[in-house]
Amino acid sequence: MSVSDHTMVEAWTKVLKLSRVTKGQKVTLLTSSDTHPQTLATAIAAARGLGAMVNRLDMLPVNAEKSLSPDKLAYVGTTPLTGNSVAMAALMESDLVLDLMLLLFSPEQHEILKSGTKILLAIEPPEVLARLVPTEEDRTRVLEAAKLLQVARQMHIESAAGTDLYCALGEYPLLKEYGYVDELGRWDHWPSGFLATWPNEGSANGKIILDRGDILLPMKSYVQEPISMTVKSGYVTQIEGGLDADLLNDYMDSFDDPESYAISHIGWGLQKRARWSVMTLYGRDSTIGMDARAFAGNFLFSLGPNTEAGGTRDTPCHIDIPMRNCTVSLDGNPVVKEGRLVDDKQGQLAVAP
């Protein structure tokens, strides 16, 4: 069902207010040829309605000749800002950048954030954005969970399907996504609602069994038969199974980069309004799958780069895998139990007794 411009202006206004946009601030919209026109037009209207000084920086797309997929997250790292000092200067002079193009995993994004500029990524279609407008309650839930993850020194993931993975923690920062940017130099993604960190280098060991209904991104496909991944010293060393495993192996082999197989961020979904089943209702090229990444109780892990956390593993291959029905424990205390959040009556995360 289509979304009215009025609804989208209201949604943008809520998000911009949560992001503390005020009169006179400089808001720059970073766009490209595939930026959704309604998202762009309504973002401009909302920002101007709050009295902001609005600019648009439109960039030519890159990487099409390298990527196997039109998905924006199928080939990461190099962006239209690479080596573009003029564009970078404009973005670093802004109070807020609305990223309607996708800078994620790029060194340019880190440079912009270090200048104090805030960046909010929003590339899902308007229907998804309107349904998953962030709230202060989303922020509270993520930050409450972050208190537990911040002090944890081991994450253990297990499932009835056979997953049994151990990761040491503490070397890398947390990724706290709740959908808006309320602090200087903060990055976030609308829509979202999940928490993650990165395992200590070389510490991830065990077995991951992707079961029927788990999700592969950017393929945007539901696993039809189990895929077995052997993890040793931080890397997936073997991927076995049927056709789904063969397809995944072939895709990853295309990058010809051993760093593609490294365990990247690990965490769990906290967004109770996101739905596991939503990808069945959209065309493959119309969404990047944020419902899949954020739905409450999923165990989300990724393969590939860790530059987002300040690491040096810079590979263009990034694969996100949300899994159902897992138990996620921090230092022996479950925060997700068999695919359901362990929370108290107020809806905030708590350690299970």
Q: Which residue has the tokens 């192996």?
A: 249
Report residue 127: phi and psi, to 5°: -60, -40
Same domain, 182 and 99: no
In the chain, the percentage of residues whose pLDDT exceeds 70 is: 97
Contact 349, 142 (CB under 8 A): no
169 and 266 together in one domain: yes
Same domain for 19 and 152, yes or no, is no
Last residue of a domain, one of 103, 131, 159: 131
Residues 152 and 301 in one domain: yes
- Whether the link from the prior residue into 125 is cis, omega within 30° of 0, is no
pLDDT of residue 349: 53
Give the C-alpha distances (Å, rounded to integers) separating 57 from 86, 163, 241: 11, 45, 45
Residue 75 has pLDDT above 50, yes or no: yes
76: domain CATH number? Answer: 3.40.50.2300
Are 225 and 265 in contact, with CB atoms under 8 Å apart? no
Mark whether 182 and 266 lie in a shared domain. yes
How much is the pLDDT for 346? 39
Q: Would you say residue 352 lies in a domain?
A: no
323 domain residue, yes or no? yes
351 inside domain: no
Same domain, 187 and 47: no
Q: Are residues 106 and 157 in the same domain?
A: no
Structural domain that includes position 148: 136-341
Domain boundary among 69, 96, 131: 131
Question: Does 110 share its domain with 143?
Answer: no
DSSP string, 189-235: ESS--EEEE-PPTT--EEEEEEPTT-EEBTTTEE-SS-EEEEEETTE
Q: Which residue reads 């390298």 in tokens?
A: 66
Instruction: Give the Cβ contact number of residue 239 at 10 Å.
Output: 18
In a domain, 201, yes or no: yes
Last residue of a domain, one of 106, 131, 156: 131
According to the model, what pLDDT value does residue 333 have?
97
| Cα–chain center distance at 120 | 12
Determine the straight-line distance between the first and last CA of the chain, rounded to whole angstroms: 43
Statement to judge: residues 159 and 296 lie in one domain: yes
> Cα(132)–Cα(293) distance, rounded to whole angstroms?
13
pLDDT tens, residue by residue, 105-160: 888 999 999 999 999 999 999 999 999 999 999 999 999 999 999 999 999 999 99
Helix (H, G, I), strand (E, B) or coil at 62: coil
Question: What's the total number of domains in the chain?
Answer: 2
Pair (143, 86) in one structural domain: no
Give the torsion sign (CA, 76, 187, 329, 169).
positive
Confidence class for position 301, pLDDT limits 50, 70, 90: very high
Instruction: Determine, yes or no, domain membership for 349.
Output: no
Q: Is 158 helix (H, G, I), strand (E, B) or coil?
A: strand
Cβ-count burial 150-163 (b if 16+ within 10 Å, e if not): bebebbbbbbebeb
Express each pLDDT in 243-298 by its tens digit. 999 999 999 999 999 999 999 999 999 999 999 999 999 988 889 999 999 999 99
> Are both 118 and 146 inside the same structural domain?
no
Average pLDDT across the chain, whole number: 94
**One domain for residues 188 and 306:** yes
In a domain, 221, yes or no: yes
Which residues, listed in sequence order, are joined to residue 262 by a DSSP beta bridge? 235
In a domain, 347, yes or no: no
**Cis omega (within 30 of 0) on the bond before 134?**
no
Three-state secondary-structure class, residue 167: strand
Q: What is this structure's pTM? A: 0.94
